[in-house]
Chains A and B, each alone.
Chain A
Amino acid sequence: MMDVLAIRKQFPLFARRAAPFAYLDSAATTQKPQCVLDALVDFYSRRNSNIHRGAYALAEAATALYESARARLARFVGAAGAHEIVFQKNTTEAINLVAFAWGREHIGRGDEIVASVAEHHSNFVPWLELCRRSGARLRVVPLQGERVDANAFLSALSRKTKLVAIHHVSNVLGRAAPLREITEAARSVGARVLVDAAQSAGHLPLDVQALQCDFLAFSGHKMYGPTGIGVLYGRAELLSEMPPFSFGGGMIREVGETAATYAEPPRRFEAGTPPIAEAVALAAAADFLDGLGREHIAAHERDLAAYALARLQESEGVCIYGGRDMAERAGLVSFNLRGFHGHDVATLLDERGIAVRAGFHCAQPLMRALGVAATCRASFGVYTLREDIDRLADGLRYAHSVLGSVSS
């Protein structure tokens, strides 16, 4: 068991609030522990320099820090080496890099990309757009009973499938997809697999060798790190055959007046000055997570999810999405107060010091599949207490009493 009260003390945002504050929006972004803030401040106050080619000690030290952050993130996901880690702005940019650089070379007319209907727009719109440009087809796998089902996925795969794009944990359904079955089936038809790990990187153990995926993308700010940095893991042989997508300084080998040649991965994909301090702080976030133990974090958040499902089910008029059982459940729960608008519910909860997100969660195809315009979502982190969920249940009772029993 984790000592959540001790962990909370490491987060200045909680320490600075006088009134109790139930922050239940960690799926949108996590709060930041002091060690991550310290890493940012330390870099800027003692180590700040641009990286690469600076022939002075400070620049060499900054370069070493940036590259050791890359190695740290490689260990964080179980990559074969630092050369498989590309720093990007966030999950969205990482997926777009694959769509543009890998997709341009490997996806053409008649090919198919397979994605679940539950993908976040960042793992959906880049593929829609790639298909529009290339003449390929995006096959969208429907839900089976509000969950992603391996068999439904398997029947969508064929020799035409060139890529499978799938989330690790859904940002709405709050459940892990059956990745092992999906990656195995994708390999059997010769397709590549990209995993959107935005909702798992800060919450579950992550091992690209065990997942058998080709690409994996995640954001720093959803795993206790800073905004402005994310990671694309790509298997070395795939990265090395990918052309660059963004051009400029830092990514070249040699530039002439009529042509240029490009650096090896991962630098080939990091044009311009990268987010150096953010990379260093992201490595600190990885240390923070592994210091707590990702198995322990996962167990803590599963316990919270089970507790939240139980508390919400006993609340009047609450409708839960993504199923009520605990199989593959992660630390987030989507729900609505039947008959009431999620925005009204979220505003009334906010008044009671409870922060939840309401809306379509960048997942409009999924909202349509669920038959709702929007949901409320409570999502958990290392600092979340059972008391936060009790406050949510009380808050929902309050919202229900304010909005009355008239259905809209």
Chain B
Amino acid sequence: MTIMHELYREHLLDHYRHPRNAAPLTHPDAVAEEHNPLCGDRVRAEAKFSHGRVVAVTLETRGCVIATAAGSLLSEWAIGKHPAEIAALDYAVMQKILGATVGAGRAKCLMLPLEALRHAVGNAKTKR
């Protein structure tokens, strides 16, 4: 069966079935959780820093294909980045990271992992 929908191509389904960086970190520097009460999706973000950069990330997502794959791909993207680069991410860049166009109806699914990660990174900054 051919899958027509770009949101459900094998690449994204692979990240959905086997999300990267989903296991809890030991002694994370920053932790945050976000959830979308509208659909029940939940993301837990953890991060470790070294010399002002992210060296380890966990994005543990319980949700739909878009949220889970976005969390997995974002976790890979975020390693080595400066908190300011994470803070600067937006909807357009998140679609690039996902490699697919996400309509307004599912925008929240795409953005939820980013909100959790930003929140975690922001918490860490206030701690320092």
Contact = CB atoms under 8 A, between A and B. Distances in A.
Interface of A: 341-344, 347-348, 351, 359-360, 364, 372-374, 398, 401-404, 406, 408
Interface string B6-27: 0110000100110000000000
Contacts of B17: 404, 406
Interface of B: 1, 3-5, 7-8, 13, 16-17, 37-41, 62-66, 68, 106, 109
Contacts of B5: 347-348, 351
Given A341-B64, A343-B109, A344-B64, A374 B39 contact: yes
Contacts of A364: 37
Contacts of B106: 343, 347
A344 B1 CA distance: 17
B100 to A, nearest CB: 12
Contacts, number: 53
B17 to A, nearest CB: 5
B1 A398 contact: yes
Nearest to B8: A402
Contacts of A406: 16-17
A228 B106 CA distance: 27
A408 B37 CA distance: 17
Contacts of B40: 372-374
A364 B36 CA distance: 13
A341 B63 contact: yes
Contacts of A341: 39, 41, 63-65
Given A403-B13, A406-B16, 14 more contacts: A341-B39, A341-B63, A343-B64, A343-B106, A348-B5, A360-B38, A373-B40, A374-B39, A402-B1, A402-B8, A404-B13, A406-B17, A408-B16, A408-B63
B38 A359 contact: yes
Given A341-B64, A344-B65, A402 B39 contact: no
- The 10 closest A-B CB pairs, nearest first, are A373-B40, A341-B64, A406-B17, A344-B64, A343-B64, A344-B65, A351-B5, A374-B39, A402-B8, A351-B4
A398 B8 CA distance: 12
B15 to A, nearest CB: 12
A81 B68 CA distance: 56
Contacts of B3: 402
B38 to A, nearest CB: 7
Contacts of A342: 39
A184 B63 CA distance: 44
A351 B4 CA distance: 8
Contacts of B66: 343-344
A347 B7 contact: yes
Nearest to A367: B40
A350 to B, nearest CB: 9
A127 to B, nearest CB: 20
Contacts of B7: 347
A343 B39 contact: yes
Which of A343, A360, A374 has its CB near the most chain B CB atoms (within 10 A)?
A343
Contacts of A344: 8, 64-66
A408 B39 contact: no
A359 B68 CA distance: 18
A156 B62 CA distance: 37
Contacts of A343: 39, 64, 66, 106, 109
A408 B15 CA distance: 12
B117 to A, nearest CB: 20
B23 to A, nearest CB: 16
Contacts of A398: 1
12 contacts: A341-B39, A341-B64, A343-B66, A344-B65, A360-B39, A374-B39, A401-B1, A402-B1, A402-B8, A403-B13, A406-B16, A406-B17
Contacts of A403: 8, 13, 16, 65
Nearest to B3: A402
A359 B13 CA distance: 21
B64 A402 contact: no
Contact of A408 (B8, B13, B38, B68): B68
B19 to A, nearest CB: 10
B110 to A, nearest CB: 12
Which of B5, B41, B64, B109 has its CB near the most chain A CB atoms (within 10 A)?
B64
A402 B106 CA distance: 18
A271 B16 CA distance: 53
Nearest to B17: A406
B111 to A, nearest CB: 14
Nearest to A397: B1
